[in-house]
Amino acid sequence: MTYDVLIVGAGPAGMSAAVQLSRDGLAVAVVDEQPAPGGQIWRGVERNMSGPVSRALGADYRKGLALVEAFRASKAEYMPETQVWQIEEGWSVFLTSGGRARRVSARIVLLATGAQERPVPFPGWTLPGVMTVGAAQILLKSGGMLPEGRVWIAGAGPLPLLYATQALDLGGRLAGYLDTAGRPGLAVLQKLPGAWRDLAGLAKGAGWLRALRRKVDIVRDVKDLRAEGEGRLEHIEWSRHGKRQRVEADVLLVHEGVVPRIHETLALGCAHDWRAGQGYFAPRLGRWGEASRSGLFVAGDAGGIGGWSAAMVSGEIAALGIAARLGKGGDVEERRRQARLDDRRARALALRPLLDALYPPLRERLPDETIVCRCEEVTAGTIRAVTRTSVPDPNAVKAATRCGMGPCQGRQCGYTVQALLAEVHGVPVGSVAFFNIRPPLKPITLAEIASLEDMETAG
Amino acid sequence: MFRSVLEGSAAAPDMMVVVNGVETPAWNGETVASVLLRVPNAGRISPVSGKPRLPYCQMGVCFDCLAVVDGIASTQGCLVPVKPGMRIDIQRGPREIAR
């Protein structure tokens, strides 16, 4: 069959849109990589509603249940544990699940694929024992997992503070917290007036910091982080005010913010804008969340980082735009006003300028030996050498070094390659493009392709 | 590297899985990647340098959690929930043609 709308991702944006579009009488399917709805923010929320893990995850986490329940009760068809590996205009979306591939058709596609953590390269970041703070938090949500041994957190932003608070609440131990954000500059003060619109959010962040200070040593102004060990993490090293420090470590959790997932919109050739303040590309979207390809909409963090609350609102806005496009939904302008969607979104985004000023993307010079491409193990030194004799184009680096050609398809190295090219050529980072993204979006086996059924003729 | 907060409580594990031939307790809601972080030396071996890796991102973007799951190689472990009796084997280097 042909769906009216195919939504990719069942997080706050995807679920909000699905609920509303189904109510408007449209045939909706929601494809999700995860086994249950909630996205990464509310991962496992249905399972985690009782017990110690639920308490530690906090009230914002438990808030997700209401939307998950509304989504489960809606008429939208849910396809969990399903990956999208190709999207074609018109629209055909190619999926795999359980080792089989299939194609589904839809009149409109809504990408609500969320964010990924910004890759944080430094010497030793590929050692077993080094992982991201977000990964550790996912492990907490999905199996109640806590890190063991000498656990260090290094990074900046609200997520490490939140995760540290949650882990300590559950009896986890932290050896130390390395704050990589520099001293806040004057720019931060200019952002404060806007931030007061979200007093609760401000208070929450301050609370995490207070709780953490009581229990853990926080080391500020950390630079030049390095992880070392034979076969696994054994030591970490950093500089502070010009002095090197070295400690033993079993687990190092790193985090430098999140960036939109843009592989899908890049593969479709959509226009993207460089957001210098945040250090990422985001698809250029219209008033209703439509990308530069007609019939392709984007909602939530995939269209620019705003967090779960803003994501829910943008899902509702996109749903109205989609309904109008399909001749449903009535007077959507009036509905947009009635539901105060723009005001709600502005409120949800009130803290972002302050957060962006407090935690700008790191711009440290990477040592030459740093692995940039985790898949193909290409170092910063190799990329610098290659780019000195080529144009500032990531695709030239890819062709010359295989950087970005492994299974992750540049998801872990794209922005680093971009920064290195800008550094070598002395041009602004934003003037350098991202890799060209080619199909498939996820690796797929020949057997899966061979199993491809045409859902239009079959269904 | 990780343990479940449920581990060590009186309650029995939710299921057993087989990691490199060894029966291993597992909990509802966790993924293959999470198991790889609890069992020593279960992570993949890089096909480029031959060095060991462990799951890094847990959200389907890094591919450092590749494992052989029920005989299927190059499975993204972080996207696969555990099931009773599931066989998880270390992936050494690239995927073999046969699996």
List chain A domain ranges.
Answer: 2-116+259-330, 119-256, 371-431
**Does 3.50.50.60 match the CATH number of domain A2-116+259-330?**
yes
Instruction: Write the CATH number of the domain with boundaries A119-256.
Output: 3.50.50.60
Query: Residue A101 in 3-state DSSP?
Result: strand
Question: How many interchain CB pairs under 8 A, A with B?
Answer: 124
- pLDDT at position A186, please? 64
User: Is residue B3, in this structure, part of any structural domain at all?
Assistant: no
Task: Check A408 against B28: CB less than 8 A apart.
Answer: no
User: Is residue B11, in this structure, part of any structural domain at all?
Assistant: no
User: Is residue B24, in this structure, part of any structural domain at all?
Assistant: yes
Instruction: Out of B48, B56, B66, name the one closest to residue A131 (CB).
Output: B56
Which residue(s) pair with A108 in the sheet?
A5
Nearest in space to A112 (alpha carbons), one of A204, A20, A205, A2:
A20
Task: Check B2 against A147: CB less than 8 A apart.
Answer: yes
Strand order in the sheet with A235-240: A222-228, A235-240, A243-248
Among A46-60, A200-214, A284-298, B46-60, name the one with the lowest average pLDDT: A200-214
Return the CATH number at B64.
3.10.20.30
* Identical fold, A119-256 and A371-431: no
Residues of B whose CB is below 8 A from A126: 46, 51, 53, 56, 64
Residue B62's domain spans which residues?
16-89
CB A87 within 8 A of CB A267: yes
pLDDT in tens, A241-268: 999 999 999 999 999 999 999 999 999 9
pLDDT in tens, A274-304: 999 899 999 999 999 999 999 999 999 999 9
> Domain tally for chain B?
1
CA distance A249 to B39: 18
User: Is residue B70, in this structure, part of any structural domain at all?
Assistant: yes
The residue-averaged pLDDT of B56-68 equals: 95
* Topology annotation, domain A371-431: Arc Repressor Mutant, subunit A (1.10.10)
pLDDT in tens, A93-143: 999 998 899 999 999 999 999 999 999 999 999 999 999 999 999 999 988
CA distance A367 to A45: 41
Helix (H) or strand (E) holding A21: helix A12-23
* Gap from A183 CA to chain B (nearest CA, Å): 28
